[in-house]
Amino acid sequence: MEISTLGEFGLIRRLTQDIELKNAETLKGVGDDCAVLNFGSEEHDVLVTTDLLMEGVHFDLTYMPLKHLGYKAAQVNFSDVYAMGGMPKQITVSLALGRRFTVEDMDEFYAGLRLACDAHCVDIVGGDTTSSRTGLAISITCIGEVEKGKAVLRSGARPTDLICVTGDLGAAYMGLQLLERENHVYYQQLEEARKKDANATIDFQPDFAGREYLLERQMRPEARRDIILKLREMGICPTSMMDVSDGLSSELLHICHESGVGCRVFEERIPLDYQTAVMAEELNMNVTTCALNGGEDYELLFTVPLTDHEKMEQMEGVRLICHITEASLGQMLVTRDGQEFQLKAQGWQAFDGEKEE
């Protein structure tokens, strides 16, 4: 059986379904954004998460500066900890490097990494380096903490809960499309020039005018520490939460699956930035599809009890987009004209690079 038959999450479920936790310190294993551990503390549980980023799969160094890459690699891990309601504290960083990389390249990568860590009060405490024959590979493990017993899991959503999302969606995906488009134009022009002169170079200026926000969302995402602090300040305890890394539809379906519930998502309430809508129209793409399935927004998707409705309406930077229903009602998208469609996860797939059916 090819791995793409199962997909990333199907493979994870297959490999881990029979794992039995043997240690009392392990409170929660596979199935959430972080594992939850406790080593005897009466105040805090420990959160642990890890992410692997591969050149040519997760990033393209043709247009991704190493400083931005270091910053983004750290934020990706911080986001998982925030998605459990916790605070990141330490990271370890492991790198596999091809021979083309220089010491100065790694200085740039670490400059971005340290910038992110400084902004989120996180310590770099170790890691590993080795050689690579296939480009740059980055593996970061993040350790965080959360008040004992207060880790927010994917499995806590209940019917009538409100579904909320932070920020806006689809901009990171549109930023990627913009970068890919300009990269393609560059290589086309270079190829034409080298038909005349094999050693030709070109003075290429990508067309990014008025699209700076899209580029920032793709190349320099910000994990939502601010939202976690606001929720604590307002006394709001989410019943479930995830970060939006693979697309809103995918994350919503994960919450529904783990919680055993359904949902109704209202298209008109999905938050979009103006630049996202303009870019989608320019590329002849459906902006709602981009927002639902684009991924890499690293916003927070969470559910709260209906009794918190008034508080959530007052909370800046958060949008109520739908509500949780009984599982029998399914997971539905309600369009602007009132039609209902089954919500599908069509985000990027790790093992085939295609949309999930």
Same domain, 171 and 101: no
* pLDDT in 10s for each residue of the chain, 357 residues: 777 676 666 777 788 778 888 999 999 988 889 999 999 999 999 999 999 999 998 999 999 999 999 999 999 999 999 999 999 999 999 999 999 999 999 999 999 999 999 999 999 999 999 999 989 999 999 999 999 999 999 999 999 999 999 999 999 999 999 999 999 998 888 888 888 888 888 888 888 989 999 999 999 999 999 999 999 999 999 999 999 999 999 999 999 999 999 999 999 999 999 999 999 999 999 999 999 999 999 999 999 999 999 999 999 999 999 999 999 999 999 999 999 999 987 654 544 544 433
Q: Is residue 189 part of a domain?
A: no
Instruction: With beta carbons less than 8 A apart as the criterion, state whether 201 and 351 touch.
Output: no
- Pairing label, strands 123-131, 87-97: parallel
Q: Is residue 199 part of a domain?
A: no
CATH code for the domain in which residue 169 is found: 3.90.650.10
DSSP string, 282-319: HTT--HHHHHHH------EEEEE-GGGHHHHHH-TTEE
Please tell me the predicted confidence (pLDDT) of residue 207: 84
Same domain, 313 and 167: yes
Same domain, 266 and 166: yes
Q: Is residue 306 part of a domain?
A: yes
Same domain, 166 and 305: yes
**Amino acid letter, residue 244:** V
Query: Which residue, 291, 299, 274, 295, is CA-closest to 347?
Result: 295
Same domain, 168 and 304: yes
Q: What are phi and psi of 24, to 5 degrees?
A: -65, -25
Please tell me the predicted confidence (pLDDT) of residue 357: 33
Token pair, residue 138, equals 């980055």
Same domain, 286 and 143: no
Distance of alpha carbon 73 from alpha carbon 64, whole angstroms: 12
Report the phi/psi class of residue 108: left, alpha or beta, with left for phi > 0 and alpha for psi in -120 to 50.
alpha
Instruction: With beta carbons less than 8 A apart as the criterion, state whether 151 and 80 touch.
Output: no
Q: What is the 3-state secondary structure (H, E, C) of 28-65?
A: ECECECCEEECCCCCCEEEEEEEEEEEECCCECCCCCC
Same domain, 239 and 332: yes
Same domain, 272 and 323: yes
Same domain, 90 and 237: no
Bridge partners of 230? none
- Give the C-alpha distances (Å, rounded to integers) separating 297 from 89, 215, 219, 242: 22, 12, 10, 12
Range of the domain at 30: 3-147
What are the strands, taking DSSP E only, across the chain? 26-28, 35-37, 44-54, 87-97, 123-131, 137-147, 162-166, 240-243, 262-266, 300-304, 318-325, 331-334, 340-342
Same domain, 94 and 168: no
Distance of alpha carbon 143 from alpha carbon 156, whole angstroms: 23
Q: Is residue 230 part of a domain?
A: yes
Please tell me the predicted confidence (pLDDT) of residue 199: 87
Same domain, 139 and 12: yes
Q: Is residue 352 part of a domain?
A: no
Q: Is residue 106 part of a domain?
A: yes
Report how many domains make up the chain.
Answer: 2
Distance of alpha carbon 48 from alpha carbon 28, whole angstroms: 10
Please tell me the predicted confidence (pLDDT) of residue 353: 47
Same domain, 250 and 337: yes
CATH code for the domain in which residue 41 is found: 3.30.1330.10
Segment (H or E) for 216 = helix 212-219
